[in-house]
């Protein structure tokens, strides 16, 4: 894996994460992340749509007139979301029912439209697919992380109802405690969890920045 590709993954997963840094697509992020499996399901769906839409926008960018580019982007994204929704209904009906309206609402996800406008419409297909992969992976990992946090501390379980993805009998997952903090699985808990994630990222970035700036100072002190 080349250094440039590693840098792109670092950007999508951390430095320029659509949900954690750009604060895009917050409606589904806050609404469905009451459990890990919900975050995983919506994350996979969003990742697939983002990669495919970037590829199609990039492949057709020479024939899309500037005046109608946004409606065309929405049309492409809506067609892909319809395909993903049908796949979920056919293969993962329980998960489709759990996610509800938020699979169709991927059409309105600002992160997908933003990547189509900012990157895919100006770059080659290969680069656009990679951009969709790294940005979609960053958004999906954030969904899964918040879902796991809320499920663990809100319900006392982890990886419950994974049968919605793999079939079989209902799975209770890993039981950590019989009871949890009910607030975390309610709507206010979503805002609280996202705020904690943003605060943690900012604290880590600040500590890294302080560590980088302190090294030259120590070097100058030793030279003296």
Pick the closest to residue 8 from 141, 128, 118 (CA basis).
128
Q: What pLDDT does 222 receive?
A: 53
Contacts of 113 by beta carbon, 8 Å cutoff, 6+ apart: 70, 73, 74, 77
Domain count, the chain: 1
Q: What pLDDT does 209 receive?
A: 87
Q: What is the pLDDT of residues 27-50, one digit of tens each?
A: 888 889 999 999 999 999 999 999
Which token pair is 222? 């030793």
Q: What is the pLDDT of residues 188-197, one digit of tens each?
A: 899 999 999 9
Rounded-to-integer distance, Cα 99 and Cα 33, Å:
10
Note the pTM of the prediction, 2 decimals. 0.89
Q: What is the pLDDT of residues 74-125, one digit of tens each?
A: 999 999 999 999 999 999 999 999 999 999 999 988 889 999 999 999 999 9
Element housing 28 (H / E):
helix 26-31
Domain range for 159: 3-223
Q: CB-hemisphere CA count at 13 Å for 181? A: 12
């Amino acid at each position: 894996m080349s250094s440039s590709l590693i840098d792109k993954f670092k950007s999508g997963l951390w430095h320029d994460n659509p949900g954690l840094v750009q604060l895009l697509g917050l409606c589904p992020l806050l609404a469905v992340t009451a459990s890990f499996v919900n975050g995983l399901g919506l994350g996979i769906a969003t990742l697939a749509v983002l990669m495919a839409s970037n590829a199609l926008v990039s492949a057709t960018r020479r024939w899309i007139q500037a005046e109608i580019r946004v409606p065309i982007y929405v049309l492409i994204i809506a067609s892909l979301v319809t395909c993903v929704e049908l796949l979920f209904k056919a293969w993962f009906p329980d998960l489709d029912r759990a996610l509800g309206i938020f699979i169709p609402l991927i059409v309105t996800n600002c992160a997908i439209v933003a990547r189509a406008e900012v990157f895919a419409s100006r770059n080659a297909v290969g680069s656009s697919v990679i951009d969709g992969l790294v940005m979609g992976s960053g958004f999906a990992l954030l969904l899964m992380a918040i879902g796991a946090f809320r499920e663990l501390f809100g319900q006392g379980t982890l990886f419950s109802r994974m049968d919605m993805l793999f079939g079989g009998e209902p799975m209770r997952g890993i039981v950590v405690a019989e009871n949890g903090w009910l607030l975390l699985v309610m709507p206010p808990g979503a805002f609280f969890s996202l705020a904690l994630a943003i605060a943690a990222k900012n604290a880590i970035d600040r500590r890294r920045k302080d560590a980088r700036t302190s090294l030259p100072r120590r070097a100058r002190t030793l030279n003296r």
